[in-house]
A and B are shown apart, each in its own frame.
Chain A
Amino acid sequence: MRNTSFIALLIVAAAATFAAMLWVGNPYVFFAGYVVLQYIVLATAWNILGGYTGYVNFGVAAFFACGAYSTVVLHKLWAPPLVVMILVGGAVSGLIGLGTGYLTMRLRGTFFGIATLAMSVVAQTLITNWPFVGGSRGAYIVRPAQALYLPLDYIQYLCLVMLALSVLALATARAIEHSRLGVGFATIRDDELAAEASGVPTLRLKLIATALSGGFMGMAGAPLPYYVTYLDPASGFSLSYAVNTIAMPLIGGTSSWLGPLIGAVLLGTLQQVATVTISSALSLLIVGLMLVGFVVAAPNGIIGWFKPAARTSMRRLRGSR
């Protein structure tokens, strides 16, 4: 019941956002908005595994790029509708997540992080050596001028699709939080050994989280070739995807669906502005510094500032002064 009203609320918010973007009318709003929305999906997906179970995925770029490259493959084969590409991209990346998780998650938690980090490099090697998708030269994708059934420019359509994906990701994340699954995830995060001992099927839950998280990242990546129209391995596997995606939940707060959303909107917008006004390299440096600053100084992120526990400790600090 509560979930349905939450979804309704999300859809209303999404519709309002899209109406506002149409009202502004400037096409740049859609180009910038697409990136911010893409990061909402990525950050929420990352948080399903990272925030809820405590396993760090550094291979965001790999999952994301595999979704994008599955679109390139499909486009070259018979160019199905975008929805099919998104589903295939999600399935491919979900399976990659499942495989990596199965091989590494039976061991210490950090091995998974290391394996995902190394996996990015290998996935990039494979794509670079695959001439069908353009190899290191990259692939060109012609973006259609108009959306199929809607009276929209294609970039507006892409933005709308990404908006729908963000709603789906946020609704899934919140539904997980309020379900048995979410409780199971939390036991893994808090004490995996104790959870295992009390009969929580930890490996199965971790694999569910990895597959879901990887799947959403693949879905976020699937429309990318149509957005950039030229995709090469170096840009698809760029480390900045991983840094942004990890920084956003950690800055916003990892304990609930709201954290990644706040982090993605804040950091995504900030970056769009900084890229235009300063330089893209410097804006990435800002993200890196904010990431380190937040994990050191504000471990609960922005939403931690508004939690009652945080407030009492602040009061205690003030009292002792």
Chain B
Amino acid sequence: MDLSFDLQGNAIVSGILLGGFYAAVSIGVSISFGMLDIVNIAHPAFILLGSYIAYIANTWWGVDPILASVVVLPAFYLLGVGIYSIYEVSFERRGDTSLRGLAFFFGLLFITEVTLVLVFGVDYRLVEAPYIGPSLHFGVIELPLRLLVPCLVSLAMLGTLQTFLSRSFLGRAVQAVAQDPQALRLMAANPTAIKRVAFGLSIATASIAGAVLIIIQPIEPSIGRDYIGRIFAIVVLGGLGSISGTLVAALTLGIAENLTATFYGPSWSPAVAFGILLLTLAVRPSGLFGRA
């Protein structure tokens, strides 16, 4: 009984830490899918790209993975801007986002994955940093720094984005696009330019998410696929485009997955996200905090 309480407590605590990390992974899709209506299913592939960049920086030059990810942020932003420009010209203008737009991102996902396989092979890769290994202890509760640091980094990123979106002029413009791009056009503002910035930001988050991913677990090119279900479960449960909703949904999923892994075995945890996704779509498609 005592043991199972310890086990539960630890599962919940590490679930919360994992949830913070899931929030960082999902926030990019929360912006692109939730606010801009761009179904970027290639996002996990870009996250892995970020992981491999952190891996190179760490093994070749001994740079801290998170520092490396912050350094390459502008490059990821430009990548996002470039992808959105192609997407806008080829699909949004033609009004063909649902079939070919989705296939476009699916192709990008696949190309990135196969390229990573060709360059790095399918071996698991990991990074080294002082905070990988030690843990903090509070009574029976154990806080591994390997999970705590990514969680704090993720929360910092979410906080920055939330401040940017609610305080700055550009951030409010992004929210305006999310609400009604047509109305924005009528006010002589250009929704395309704003969406380009916002999509760039959403891809930029993949850089940091990639660095925290490789801190949490060793990676190989195809693990991105496991995150697709998680990301969309979180984004839909969080109510499409709300940052606080994304955080709450990510924590929920993190705890649910960890409890499942602890009591039924880790091979079942990928099914949790899908269960939550289907349940949300069937019962409350607007998410936990969505309007109507």
Using CB atoms and an 8 Å cutoff, list the residues of chain A in contact with chain B: 50, 54, 56, 58, 103-104, 107, 109-111, 113-115, 117-122, 124-126, 128-129, 239, 242-243, 246-247, 250, 254, 281-282, 284-285, 287-289, 291-292, 295-297, 299
Contacts and interface: CB of A to CB of B under 8 A. Distances in A.
A122 B222 contact: no
- For the complex, would chain A's binding face be called helix, strand, loop or mixed by DSSP majority? helix
Contacts of A126: 271
B129 interface: no
Contacts of A289: 107, 111
A131 to B, nearest CB: 12
B148 interface: no
B282 A110 contact: no
Nearest to B278: A103
Given A250-B100, A285-B118, A291 B107 contact: yes
Interface residues of B, number: 45
Contact of B103 (A117, A119, A246, A281): A246
A296 B104 contact: yes
Interface in B124-155: none
A136 to B, nearest CB: 8
Top 4 closest pairs, chain A to chain B, by CB: A118-B229, A292-B107, A291-B107, A122-B274
Nearest to A287: B110
Given A58-B106, A121-B228, A285 B271 contact: no
14 contacts: A50-B99, A54-B98, A56-B102, A114-B232, A118-B273, A122-B274, A124-B270, A247-B107, A282-B118, A287-B110, A295-B90, A295-B100, A295-B104, A297-B90
A111 B91 CA distance: 18
Contacts of B278: 103-104, 115
Nearest to B121: A281
Interface of B: 39, 41, 86, 90-91, 94, 96, 98-104, 106-108, 110-111, 113-115, 117-118, 222, 225-226, 228-229, 232-233, 236, 265, 267-268, 270-271, 273-275, 277-278, 281-282, 285
A292 B91 CA distance: 12
A206 B94 CA distance: 24
Given A250-B103, A289-B111, A122 B271 contact: yes
A295 B229 CA distance: 24
Nearest to B274: A122
Contact of B228 (A118, A129, A247): A118
A288 B229 contact: no
B271 A128 contact: no
Given A58-B106, A117-B228, A292-B107, A299 B94 contact: yes
A75 to B, nearest CB: 24
A119 B274 CA distance: 7
Contact of A243 (B106, B115, B226, B232): B106
A299 B281 contact: no
Among A119, A295, A297, A299, which residue has the most Cβ atoms of chain B within 10 A?
Answer: A295
B120 to A, nearest CB: 12
Contact of B110 (A54, A118, A239): A239
A247 B111 CA distance: 12
Contacts of B270: 121-122, 124-125
Contact of B285 (A54, A107, A120, A299): A107
B222 to A, nearest CB: 7
Contacts of B274: 118-119, 121-122
B268 A299 contact: no
Given A103-B278, A107-B281, A119-B274, A284 B110 contact: yes
A122 B99 CA distance: 23
B103 A295 contact: yes
Contacts of A118: 228-229, 232-233, 273-274, 277
Given A58-B106, A114-B39, A118-B277, 14 more contacts: A56-B98, A103-B281, A104-B281, A121-B270, A129-B267, A239-B110, A284-B114, A288-B107, A288-B111, A288-B114, A289-B107, A291-B103, A291-B106, A296-B86
A295 B91 CA distance: 9
A296 B90 contact: yes
B104 A110 contact: no
Nearest to B276: A118
Contacts of B41: 58, 113-114, 117
A118 B271 CA distance: 9
Contacts of B103: 56, 246-247, 250, 291, 295
Nearest to A246: B103
Contacts of A287: 110
B230 to A, nearest CB: 8
B99 A56 contact: yes
A125 B268 contact: yes
Contacts of A295: 90-91, 100-101, 103-104, 107
Given A111-B281, A239-B110, A284-B110, A292 B104 contact: yes
A292 B83 CA distance: 12
A125 B271 contact: yes
Contacts of B94: 299
A51 to B, nearest CB: 8
A266 B275 CA distance: 38
Contacts of B96: 299
A285 B108 CA distance: 10
B98 A110 contact: yes
A247 B273 CA distance: 27
Contact of A285 (B111, B229, B282): B111
A292 B112 CA distance: 12
